[in-house]
Amino acid sequence: MVRTLLILGGTADARALAAAVRRALPDVRVVTSLAGRTASPRMPEGEVVAGGFGGPSGLAGYLRAEGVDALIDATHPFAAEISKSAAEAGQWAGVPRLALVRPPWVFGQDAKVRHVRSMDAAKSALENGGRRVFLAIGRQEVGRFKDLQGRYFLLRFIDAPAAPPPFADCRVLTGPPGTLDEERELLRDYAIDTLVAKNGGGDASRAKVDAALDLGISVILIDPPPPPPPPRAETVEVALAWLDRL
Ligand code: NAP
């Protein structure tokens, strides 16, 4: 029987999983780990640790020291480093690991979505068009677009960035994604003609893509990196069943 579960979090799925485990398996100690980059993250139920482990060996050390006997990697599909750490650390420490990976969004054949494989491919796609761009890719990789001057960028981050973005003509908004109506209004207000976003799946941030498609705005969607190695689950229910079987 599992006594201590570590969830690698930072997503709505991780919060839902922590709550579901506490409800279904109340004797399990649930610890969620956050990277610690967001000033006021939404807190999951159960215990929380933050700030990283120091790579796979640090995570393996934590698993042993805390007597963790199950590990669920419920991080964002684009958080590839921590997922790699989880797979390695689980093996080294002999702790069963599951990746909770939500599927990417799927759109109808007629949807005007351009799928690209990487940030660089998104940048190349923008070079050929897009005068008023909503660059909705989070904080960390905005610098990779810095050569693309001569156009307007709208950026939105959860927290205000430490340094101004590297664009001459831009506006920074802070806060979470909005509803479909709010995203439609935002795209109209800023006269956006191109949206660049990560195909991260899930419900929380899809509205901006649907709003852009409704308005006939070009959408450039970056594919997620390859998923972590199996075993994998696509839903909280399947992850809970995996845990219950251990
Ligand atoms: P990343 O590139 O995969 O990870 C970089 C480093 O941050 C990791 O090596 C690890 O440090 C630390 N880290 C990341 N997630 C952690 C976690 N849940 N608990 C403890 N340490 C963690 O990750 P990222 O893309 O920067 O994402 C950071 C966090 O934001 C993740 O928790 C992810 O779920 C969430 N998030 C990411 C995105 C996105 O688009 N990437 C979107 C929404 C939410 P050590 O090596 O020191 O352990």
* Per-residue pLDDT tens over the stretch 14-45: 999 999 999 999 999 999 999 998 888 999 99
pLDDT computed for residue 24 by the predictor: 96
pLDDT computed for residue 31 by the predictor: 98
- Calculate mean pLDDT across residues 115-122: 96
Domain-located, residue 207: yes
| Contact criterion met (CB below 8 Å) for 78 and 102 | no
3-class SS at 190? coil
Domain-located, residue 204: yes
Domain-located, residue 49: yes
What the block records as the tokens of 112 is 């005007």
| pLDDT range class, residue 187, cuts 50, 70, 90 | very high
Residues 122 and 211 in one domain: yes
How far is Cα of residue 53 from the mean position of the Cα atoms in its chain? 19
Residues 212 and 117 in one domain: yes
**Distance, CA of 138 to CA of 32 (rounded, Å):** 22
| pLDDT range class, residue 64, cuts 50, 70, 90 | very high
Residues 173 and 141 in one domain: yes
**Distance, CA of 39 to CA of 58 (rounded, Å):** 24
Is pLDDT of 204 > 90?
A: no
For the chain, how many structural domains are there in total? 2
pLDDT computed for residue 108 by the predictor: 86
List the strands of the sheet with 170-174, edge to edge.
Answer: 113-116, 218-222, 194-198, 132-136, 152-157, 170-174
| Contact criterion met (CB below 8 Å) for 166 and 143 | yes
Report the residue among 82, 97, 205 best suited for mutation to probe ligand 1: largest number of ligand atoms under 8 A from its CB.
82
Residues 33 and 117 in one domain: no
- Calculate mean pLDDT across residues 142-152: 93
Is pLDDT of 109 > 90?
A: no
Is pLDDT of 1 > 90?
A: no
What the block records as the tokens of 57 is 């060996």
Q: Is 159 in the pocket of ligand 1 (CB under 6 A)?
A: no
Domain-located, residue 189: yes
Residues 84 and 121 in one domain: no
Residues 117 and 208 in one domain: yes
pLDDT computed for residue 112 by the predictor: 86
Residues 233 and 214 in one domain: no
Domain-located, residue 86: yes
Written as one string, the DSSP assignment of 126-157 is: HHTS-SEEEEES-STTGGGGTT--SSEEEEEE
Percentage of the chain modeled with pLDDT above 70: 100
**Distance, CA of 23 to CA of 17 (rounded, Å):** 10
The domain containing residue 39 runs over which residues?
Answer: 4-102+226-245
Within 8 A by CB and 6+ apart from 80, the residues are 225
Among protein residues, the one whose CA lies closest to atom 13 of ligand 1: 35
CATH at 32: 3.40.50.720
Percentage of the chain modeled with pLDDT above 90: 91
Domain-located, residue 13: yes
192: left (phi over 0), alpha (psi -120 to 50) or beta: beta
pLDDT computed for residue 148 by the predictor: 93
| Contact criterion met (CB below 8 Å) for 211 and 236 | no
Residues 123 and 193 in one domain: yes
Residues 27 and 52 in one domain: yes
Residues 82 and 157 in one domain: no
Domain-located, residue 241: yes
Give alpha helix (H) positions in the chain. 12-24, 55-65, 80-93, 119-127, 180-189, 207-214, 236-245
**Distance, CA of 111 to CA of 195 (rounded, Å):** 14
Residues 231 and 218 in one domain: no
Domain-located, residue 107: no
Q: Is 34 in the pocket of ligand 1 (CB under 6 A)?
A: yes
Q: Is 48 in the pocket of ligand 1 (CB under 6 A)?
A: no
Is pLDDT of 236 > 90?
A: yes
Residues 20 and 88 in one domain: yes
Place of tokens 């969004």: 105
| Contact criterion met (CB below 8 Å) for 5 and 21 | yes
pLDDT computed for residue 87 by the predictor: 98
Is pLDDT of 149 > 90?
A: no
CATH at 172: 3.40.50
Q: Is 32 in the pocket of ligand 1 (CB under 6 A)?
A: no
Sign of CA dihedral 147, 152, 158, 159: positive
Is pLDDT of 129 > 90?
A: no
pLDDT computed for residue 98 by the predictor: 98
